[in-house]
Amino acid sequence: MKAQNNPLNYLSSKISTSLKNLENGLDPDVLAYWYKRIEERSIELVPNSLKDNIHFIQDRFLWMKYDLNISKRSIPYILQSIEEYIEMMPYSTALYFANVSQILVKKTEN
């Protein structure tokens, strides 16, 4: 049996690829890229009166943490932006932003 056709090698390769994709999705640079895209898209969507009220600021020490300086009135537009991009994101990044969406929804309910 050739090494290429060995089911264990194939399975090992698939698992390795999946783990690398998960790791890359939570890279601070990947998160920064998606935060920037969501911020820019949200600013495009909101009315002119809210354009200055959307700022995502990356923490200087905890690179995966962001402060969202936003108006409550801009939250629906931010949620719409996340929804537009979430399918394009790596799996773990999409989970991260799904959690961000849940937090924002809870903020609007309070």
SS3 5: coil
The tokens for 55 are: 């700022």
Of 87, 66, 83, 63, the C-alpha closest to 75 is 83
Is it the case that residue 78 has pLDDT exceeding 60? Answer: yes
The full 3-state SS of 21-84, as one line of letters, equals: HHHHHCCHHHHHHHHHHHHHHHHHHCCHHHHHHEEEEECCCCCCCEEEEECHHHHHHHHHHHHH
Q: Mean pLDDT throughout 17-35?
A: 76
The tokens for 64 are: 């995966």
Read off the pLDDT band of 17 (50, 70, 90): low
Is it the case that residue 108 has pLDDT exceeding 90? Answer: no
